[in-house]
Amino acid sequence: MKFVDAAKKGLGIPEATHFHVSDEVKAYFADLKNKRAAIHGEWNKVYLAWSAANQELAKQLDAARNGTLKAEDLLKVVPEYPAEGKAATRNSGGEILNHIAKAVPHLVTGSADLFGSTKNYPTGLGDFSAANPTGRNIWFGIREHAMGAICNGIAYDGLFLASGATFLVFADYCRPSIRIAALAKLPVTYIFTHDSVGVGEDGPTHQPVETVSGLRVIPNLDAIRPGDAEEAAGAIAAAFSRNDGPTLLALSRPTLTKRRLETASFSLRLIQGVCGMMHS
């Protein structure tokens, strides 16, 4: 404490003041406040004039700023799917995302260099770049953690709905940014594909059995694993209508036939039973 007192004395700060703000600093920020209030007033006049002249665009902007999307409204733009139609949920998920992205102009999506496999590429919406800032598909490159961090930044800004895609197993590379989104209640959507109980199709390194369980225990992260195209539609609509935290969609590479679903259910019950014995 004596060092603090000595430093204050050396700086000419009154001893009785715990937090001292000089008159010069107060005057500077008071003047800055007045200047910025005037600038905001001028901006608001321009915005109101623009809103009156562009009512439909203003409506879209207000919807983006207020986060008023509802899952039931998003499902209205998605065609109905039979239970086993397009049952590889990465495929049906890609089609569903296309419909929703074209109906929601403030939705942007991207991939860690895996658009061709994750199927999360809305067609006709262009690629984001310095030359094309209106493009809505972002090529993040092979950098999952950076992808998650960039999506967090977009969500913090609050205007756009951000999503990023990679293989489910690579969630480990971006887990810190996923946890930040969950803790900060950021509405980011993760479209993670190649989820499968069929270990061996892409090698055991791509289907570790603990991945989904490890993600589901992250507080405030909604981890959804749809079992068919119809469930995928509901999951994607739920993800993009959520505004109090992130959602992770685990989508399958193989077709989810009835037999595969039964196998997956059996495997899940088996894992739960083993975990139950370990904790008892």
Q: List, for residues 15-27, the tens digit of each pLDDT value.
A: 766 777 888 999 9
Can you tell me the mean pLDDT for 1-20?
A: 77
DSSP state of 1: -
pLDDT in tens, 58-114: 999 998 988 888 999 999 999 887 655 557 899 999 999 999 999 999 999 999 999
Look over the chain and give the mean of its residue pLDDT values, rounded to a whole number: 86
Q: How far apart are CA 235 and CA 160, in angstroms?
A: 19
144 is catalytic: yes
Q: Is the pLDDT of residue 206 over 90?
A: no
Question: What are the residue ranges spanned by the domains of the chain?
Answer: 2-49, 68-279
pLDDT at position 198: 57
Question: Quick check: 232 and 251 in contact, CB under 8 A?
Answer: yes
- DSSP symbols for 160-206: SEEEEEEEGGGHHHHHHHHHHHHHTT--EEEEEEEE-S-TTSS-GGG
Q: How far apart are CA 278 and CA 143, in angstroms?
A: 36
Question: Quick check: 177 and 202 in contact, CB under 8 A?
Answer: no
DSSP state of 107: E
Active-site hit among 24, 56, 84, 144: 144
CATH class of 68-279: alpha beta
Predicted confidence band at 255 (pLDDT cuts at 50, 70, 90)?
confident
Q: Is the pLDDT of residue 271 over 50?
A: no
Question: pTM score, two decimals?
Answer: 0.79
Q: Is the pLDDT of residue 199 over 60?
A: no
pLDDT in tens, 110-138: 999 999 999 999 999 999 999 999 999 99
